[in-house]
């Protein structure tokens, strides 16, 4: 899934996938199972490492009473809701370069 978000101080082209076949070749060659990067002012910042325990650590903080409150999380929840409910429009406008990749089969065998 790919899309485009325009925010107050950022334009974001995103590509989300759980399929390892969509990873960049250099990530696959280095044995990575995930790939995260930002492009800012023409410079790529790759930050795939360090996310292995992200959800576990987040849940731990929540259970310790150190998590984000509803007001802090509201904008993020709104963005996720918008992405989930967006209607597909195809490759139009300022799309993510990975969006042109050939669709691969779902890693769990699901058909969409």
Residue 111: per-residue pLDDT: 64
CATH number of 2-100: 3.30.360.10
Map out the domains of the chain as residue ranges. 2-100
Residue 45 φ then ψ, to 5°: -115, 110
Q: How far is CA 63 from CA 41, 56, 75, 85, 89, in A?
A: 38, 11, 22, 30, 40
Indicate whether this model's pTM tops 0.75: no
pLDDT tens string 34-56? 888 888 888 999 888 877 788 88
pLDDT tens string 54-89? 888 888 999 999 988 889 889 999 999 988 898 888
Q: How far is CA 26 from CA 1, 13, 34, 45, 46, in A?
A: 21, 20, 11, 14, 12
């Amino acid at each position: 899934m790919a899309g485009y978000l325009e925010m107050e101080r950022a334009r974001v082209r995103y590509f989300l996938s759980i399929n390892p076949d969509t990873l960049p070749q250099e990530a696959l060659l280095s044995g990575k199972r995930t790939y995260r990067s930002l492009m800012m002012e023409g410079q790529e910042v790759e930050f795939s490492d360090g996310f292995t325990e992200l959800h576990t650590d987040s849940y731990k903080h929540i259970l310790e009473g150190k998590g984000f409150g509803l007001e802090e999380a509201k904008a993020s929840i709104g963005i996720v809701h918008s992405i989930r409910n967006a209607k597909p429009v195809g490759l139009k406008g300022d799309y993510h370069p990975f969006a042109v990749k050939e669709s691969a089969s779902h890693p769990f065998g699901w058909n969409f």
